[in-house]
Structure 1
Amino acid sequence: MRHLLLTLLAGILLTGSALAQGGLYVSPRLGYGTFQMSLMKEFQQRIIYETQVNALATDSFSPYFQYGLGISTDLTELTRVGTFIERGSTGGRVAYEDYSGEIRVDNLVNYTAFGFLINTRKPLGNSGISVMGGIEVNGFLSRLRMLSYSRIYDTRDSSESDFNSFGFGVKPYIGLQRPFFNMPVELSAGYLAGMNGPFHLPGQQDSYLTLNNSDKKLKPDWNGLRINLTISVPIMK
C-alpha cells in the first residue's frame, strides 16, 4: 500500500506540472462521509447468525473521516482542474462475551482513491465568496481485513485474512470558496456514486468472497454523502 501511494503521488505531481498554465496548488483535504455498505452489513448479520450465541453488532460500518492530497491548476480565472489521492475507512464489529469466553469478529474496510476533478466558481458580488460546482471521477482500491478472535475458558484462537477489490466512482458536488491569505479554502458537499468489484484474494481475482453458500459476491459500497474541506496552497505562479 505504501508503494501504491508513492506511485499515485508521483503521478499527481507529473500531471500537475504538465497542467500548470495558470498557477499550481497543493491541496490537502479532509472529509467526512457516510457509506451504504449493504452487502457488508448483510455479511455481518450472517456472522452473527453463525456464532449461535446472542452476539451483537457493536459497530456497523459507521460514517468516518477521509483525508487526501491534490494538485490543481486554474484553466481560467474561474475554472480549476486537478488530480488527487484520497484514503478513507470504516468497519464493523461483532462481539459476545460471558463467563465462559468471548467472540470478536472485526471487518475493517479501507480504500485508496486516485482521481481527477474539475470545478467552476461564480463570485457573489464583492464579498470574496464564490459559489462552486464540480465533479470528481476516481478509481478505487479497496481492502478488507477480517480479524477474528475467540476464547472458550483458557482456549484461545485467532485468525487474520486480507482481500482486495477494484472499482470506480463519480462525485458531483457544490460548495463555497473564499481565499484566506492568498490560499483558496473550499467547503463542499456531494454524493459519491460508484461500482466496485468483489473482494478477492490478493493477486487471485477468481478467488472471491461470497455471501452464505450462494454465488452472491461480497463487495464494498462506498456510495454516500461527502463533506470536504480543502485548502489550496499556491506553490507556483
Structure 2
Amino acid sequence: MKRILLTCTLVLMVLFSFSQRFSVGASIGYGSYSMGSLKDFQAWRVKESNLPLKTTENYPIMPYYRAEIALNGLWVFDKLGVFYAFSSTGGRSTVSDYSGRVNLDALINGNQLGLSVRKDFIRQNNWSAGVYVDGSWLRSSLNAKDYLMLVGPPETVEKDSYDFRATGYSAEPGLALTYKLLPLMFQLNVGYLMDFSGKLYLKDNKKQWLEPDGKEATPEWSGLRAGVQVSFVFGKPE
C-alpha cells in the first residue's frame, strides 16, 4: 500500500512540471457487482441455518464515491490522475415471527487507490469525448454477522461476527464525456470494472480462507460503472 501511494505521488510530481493545469475532483456514481462467490456464500448460510429465511438483499447496485487529483494537458493524455474510490454493497437473509427474529447479514467494502488516464478524440467548443482507463490496487473487507433473538421470558439474543479480507488489482476501461466551464470541469463516464482480487481470508488468520461448500470465495467487484465527476481546475487557461 505504501509503495503504491509513493509511486503514484512520484509520478505526479515528475509530470507536474510538464502540465499547464492540475485539478481536484470528486465524483459519485453507481456500480453493479457480480459477487458470484458471495451470493453462493449467502445461499449456503441460508441452507445451513435450516430456517425459512428470505433473502431480501443480494449484493445490489449501490453508489460509489471517488476523489481525484489530476494533471491536465500532458503530451499524450488529456488527463493523468491519482484517485481513491470507495464502494460498498451487501446481502441480508431474514425471518421473523411471534417467537423471535434471525438475520444473516454480510457487508463488503472496497477501497481502491490507483492511476487514471483519459484521452479525448472529439473536441467541439467546451465539449470533448474520449476514452479513459483506470488501474488500481484494491482492498476488500467483508463482515458477516449472525443475529438470533428469541422472545422470552427470558429474552435471548445471540450475535456472531466474522471479518474477512482480500487484496488484488482492478482495471476499468470506459468512455468519458467532458464539459469545461472553467474553473469547473464536469465529466460523465461509463465503464466496466474488471476485478482481479485474491481469495477472502480471515482477518486474523491469512491461512484460513472463506470456502462455502468447499469453494474458495473472492470479492468479484466486476461490473458496470456510471458516474458524474466535478473538478476544480487550477493553473493557466488553454
State TM-score, norm by structure 1.
0.89
The residue identity in structure 1 corresponding to 2:69 is: I
Task: Determine the structure 2 residue equivalent to 1:149.
Answer: 147
Q: Decide whether the 8 Å contact of 1:31 with 1:226 is kept in 2.
A: yes
The residue identity in structure 2 corresponding to 1:222 is: W
The residue identity in structure 1 corresponding to 2:206 is: Q
Q: Secondary structure at the match of 1:48?
A: helix
Matching of residues 8-47 of structure 1 within 5 Å: 15-20=11-16, 21-22=18-19, 23-47=21-45
The residue identity in structure 2 corresponding to 1:166 is: T
The residue identity in structure 2 corresponding to 1:165 is: A
Task: Determine the structure 2 residue equivalent to 1:125.
Answer: 124
Q: Decide whether the 8 Å contact of 1:12 with 1:71 is kept in 2.
A: no
Q: Decide whether the 8 Å contact of 1:92 with 1:108 is kept in 2.
A: yes
State TM-score, norm by structure 2.
0.89
The residue identity in structure 1 corresponding to 2:179 is: R
Q: CA offset at residue 76 of structure 1?
A: 3.5
Q: Secondary structure at the match of 1:198?
A: coil
Q: Decide whether the 8 Å contact of 1:55 with 1:94 is kept in 2.
A: yes
Q: Decide whether the 8 Å contact of 1:8 with 1:85 is kept in 2.
A: no
Matching of residues 69-80 of structure 1 within 5 Å: 69-74=67-72, 75-76=74-75, 79-80=78-79
The residue identity in structure 1 corresponding to 2:41 is: F
> Alpha-carbon deviations, 1:115-154, whole Å to 9, x = none?
111111134433x211121111111100001111101232
Q: CA RMSD in A?
A: 2.1
Cα distance change of structure 1 residues 14 and 28 upon mapping to structure 2, 3 Å threshold = farther
Which consecutive unaligned segments of at least 5 residues does structure 2 have? Answer: none
Task: Determine the structure 2 residue equivalent to 1:204.
Answer: 205
Matching of residues 50-199 of structure 1 within 5 Å: 50-74=48-72, 75-76=74-75, 79-126=78-125, 128-153=126-151, 154-199=155-200
Q: Decide whether the 8 Å contact of 1:78 with 1:122 is kept in 2.
A: no
Q: CA offset at residue 58 of structure 1?
A: 0.8
Over the matched positions of the two proteins, sequence identity in percent amounts to 25
How many residues are matched? 230
Paired with 2:181 and 2:157, the residues of 1 have a C-alpha distance of 56
Q: Decide whether the 8 Å contact of 2:5 with 2:113 is kept in 1.
A: no
Paired with 1:185 and 1:10, the residues of 2 have a C-alpha distance of 28
Q: Secondary structure at the match of 2:211?
A: coil
Paired with 2:25 and 2:8, the residues of 1 have a C-alpha distance of 11
Cα distance change of structure 1 residues 230 and 9 upon mapping to structure 2, 3 Å threshold = farther
Q: CA offset at residue 161 of structure 1?
A: 1.9
Q: Which stretches of structure 1, 4 residues or longer, exceed 4 Å deviation after superposition?
A: 6-15
